Amino acid sequence: MRLRAVKGAREMIAANDYVIKEETNMKGRWSELFGNDNPIHLEIGMGKGKFLMTLAEMNPDINYIGIEKFSSVLVRALEKRAEYEGDNVYFLRMDAENLAEVFAPGEVDRIYLNFSDPWPKERHAKRRLTSREFFKRYDQVLKADGKVIFKTDNRPLFDFSLEEVPEAGWKLENYTFDLHNSEYVEGNVMTEYETKFVAEGKPINRLVAFR
């Protein structure tokens, strides 16, 4: 994602009640924050938050947490959050590497990865959100029947991910190299990046992984 510094982003985030600070240890207590036992779905690398906010409005009985590394991007999602009256969305500004420090085993029901950074250099493969190293982290926090759902326009990253799933000891429930011309498109919610790529005529790859 092209990053433009947003003046005061850090301060806005610090002052926003919907951003849970990493140091506020909510591990094992997320249901208390939401005030119910509804399932918890994460989007990692949420960007400006269109996908997450759309899902939250559609599914008030699901709790959503958007995870984003950069303050300057997260503030855009906070603008959308300010216009939303529901109480089923919170955010974390953090690197997903530290997921297991923030969520207890089995606390999360689903993880969405949308248009994740490709990290094309081989020596950076461990940073890809669909690397076996990251699946280990997902394994630590996801419920036994939890799923990871990944979309990307990037075919090399998708091919890598299809190989990593079994290497990590996970299984593929389904996958497609062209989501928008497949049976899986029904109910699909587009992300900011997806809207742009679809308009350019690029096929979108999608996989669903489980253990």
Q: Which stretch binds ligand SAM (CB under 6 A): 44-52, 137-145, 154-162, 164-172?
A: 44-52
Any idea what the Cα angle at residue 206 is, between residues 41 and 78, rounded to 5°? Answer: 40
Q: Are 198 and 190 in contact (CB under 8 A)?
A: yes
Write a three-state SS string for 28-73.
CCHHHHHCCCCCEEEEECCCCCHHHHHHHHHCCCCEEEEEECCHHH
Alpha carbon distance 50, 47 (integer Å): 8
Annotated catalytic, 117?
A: yes
Span interacting with ligand SAM, options 31-39, 108-116, 138-146, 202-210, rule CB under 6 A = 108-116
Contact predicate 47/72, CB 8 Å: no
Number of C-alpha atoms within 13 angstroms, CB side, residue 105?
Answer: 3
Per CB under 6 A, 53 contacts ligand SAM: no
Among 107, 153, 164, 192, binds ligand SAM (CB under 6 A): 192
- Sign, CA torsion 122/197/109/175: negative
Q: Which is nearer to ligand SAM, 204 or 209 (CB)?
A: 204
Nearer of residues 171 and 185 to ligand SAM, judged by Cβ: 185
Residue 92, CA distances (Å) to 14, 43, 102, 165, 176 in order: 11, 10, 10, 26, 30
Q: How far is the CB of 5 from ligand SAM (least distance, A)?
A: 14
Candidate ranges 23-31, 53-61, 63-71, 156-164; the one touching ligand SAM (CB under 6 A): 63-71
- Is residue 96 near ligand SAM by the rule CB under 6 A? yes
> Which position among 16, 57, 70, 154 is part of the footprint of ligand SAM (CB under 6 A)?
70
Torsions phi, psi of 92, nearest 5? Answer: -130, 125
Q: Annotated catalytic residue: which of 87, 95, 117, 139?
A: 117
Smallest gap from residue 117 Cβ to ligand SAM (A) = 5
Nearer Cβ to ligand SAM, position 114 or 176? 114
Q: 158: closest CA among 207, 210, 209?
A: 207
Please report whether residue 44 would count as binding ligand SAM according to CB under 6 A.
yes
Q: Report the catalytic residues.
A: 117
Can you give the binding site for ligand SAM, defined by CB under 6 A? Answer: 1, 44-47, 67-70, 73, 95-97, 114-117, 191-194
